[in-house]
Amino acid sequence: MQPTQPMLHLGNLEGALRNWVRLQEQYDMHCCIVDWHSLTTMIDRTKEIDENSVGIAMDYLAAGIDPERTVVFRQSEVKEHAELYLLLSMVTPLGWLERVPTYKEKKQDLKGEYVSHGLLGYPVLQAADILLYKPYGVPVGKDQVPHLEVTREIARRFNFLYGDVFPQIANLLSDVPLMLGTDGRKMSKSYENAIYIGDDAEATAVKVRSAFTDPKKIRKNDPGHPEGCSVFSLHSVYNKPCVAVVEKECRAGERGCVDCKNECIEALNGSLAKIRDRRRELEGDRGYVLRVLQEGAEKARAVASETMKEVRRVMHLP
């Protein structure tokens, strides 16, 4: 994950981190904080990236990632990522990168601002991040599968040119709940509509009380439409035992939005209490978090350096 903010939001938690915690019971995992990737959007705010990276590591650990089982590290501390990125960029056709939907979207979002080589080459660096560790697979939601296909294409082209070095990556698909932000759009840091793992109970309550609900439901007894309601989106994840009742009462006009939000706040804060308590402990023990990142980088380098020896050998490089 990119450290573009000092903490992760609930979409990150439910869409990825929860699944990572489960998968570490079955697999040896590498969980990377991709700080170089952040430079595509934070080139004028580079001072923030280091501190943000430590905050993201805290979220990983608070959510249940175990550094005794899983390698947690920062991308920039394993320089082999940059070397493989350079070599893979030499075998990746320009047209492949120009067709990536995310590149087209971000290019449009820039609205006349310069488009960097790093933004165009983002999928190549992502491929390096993955292929360095020769993994069986990568945990993704269905919407991320096209991004992994670029990695597979790059791996196939490299293997065609130099021999079978990289495996074909499997998609470890997970059912990712659509977590709506407080404005009714998908929860995102860039939309400023997110509830964060590190938010305290009161900050969470303020955000939920201001959240977008159903514009057609003016009075309590008006029938509601839970689909597209930010608060119902949170109920569906954090108040599952009661979500059927919430939906029924909303549609029947038996539930007001204020009461619905208050119930959501209680369920949400209760569900996140342990993770947030653990995060506060980690905030008070920054030295431990830095040791986890340092030890993780050493473990990651040990794997990455062996991969690069093989890459250099098949490419006849010193």
Alpha helices by DSSP H, the chain: 10-12, 18-23, 39-42, 47-63, 80-89, 94-98, 101-110, 117-120, 122-131, 145-162, 201-209, 230-238, 243-251, 257-283, 286-314
Is 309 in the active site? no
Contact 238, 271 (CB under 8 A): yes
Is 189 in the active site? yes
Which of the residues 47, 79, 104, 106 is marked catalytic? 106
Handedness of CA 130, 135, 141, 145 (dihedral sign): positive
Residue 274 CA to residue 271 CA, distance in Å, equals 8
Query: Cα dist. 129→79, 126, 140, 187, 241 in Å?
Result: 11, 5, 15, 25, 39
192 is written with which tokens?
A: 């400023």
DSSP 8-state secondary structure symbol assigned to residue 112: T
Contact 75, 34 (CB under 8 A): yes
Contact 154, 122 (CB under 8 A): no
122-131 vs 80-89: helix axis angle to the nearest 10?
120
Which of the residues 107, 134, 186, 299 is marked catalytic? 186
Which of the residues 189, 207, 217, 261 is marked catalytic? 189
Contact 226, 246 (CB under 8 A): yes
Is 186 in the active site? yes
Query: Cα dist. 128→82, 123, 137, 241, 299 in Å?
Result: 8, 9, 14, 42, 17
Q: Where do we find the tokens 């303020």?
A: 206
What residues pair up with 170 in beta bridges, in sequence order?
137
Active-site positions? 106, 186, 189
